Amino acid sequence: MRYINPCVVVLAAFAIGAYGQDTKPNLSGKWQLNAAKSQSKLTAMSWTIEQKGSAIHLVSVTKAADGTEKTSEFRCTTDGKECLVDGIKISLYYAGAALVEMQVSADVVSKTTMKLANDGKSVSVDVSYIVPDKEADSFLLEKS
């Protein structure tokens, strides 16, 4: 009878678990804000994302409580290289299974972390503001 070292079993299980967590999600699709499960001053938000390999095209439409609507769009890659969009520096990269977006403009620096749910039906989005120092936003977007 062969003896299997328990350490080998634990290391193998850890490696398999770590591999699963590093899977880079494909966020392609149309996403709508679930305002009831979000903490933000936005009343509506939709994202349309096209993701092919490391290239991402995102169109965002937001509506604030005062009725102001804003549409923004960018194309960038997920390798951390900066993309210049209307004077704003944007970079995307993966941190494990989360897609991270850094935005740097003249007056705002923010970090957005996007995590696809295991069932692929929702994306949790957390926005932290580095400059100016203000309260973070938290969104739940659901596939439409």
pLDDT tens column, 72-118? 999 999 999 999 999 999 999 999 999 999 999 999 999 999 999 99
**What pLDDT, on a 0 to 100 scale, did the predictor assign at position 51?**
97
* Whole-prediction pTM: 0.83
Query: Domains (ranges, CATH) in the chain?
Result: 25-143 (2.40.128.20)
Rounded Cα distance between 106 and 108, Å, is 6
Other beta carbons less than 10 A from residue 94's beta carbon: 16
- Cα torsion at 8, 13, 17, 18 (round to 10°)? 0
Span 22-45, pLDDT tens digits? 689 999 999 999 999 999 889 999
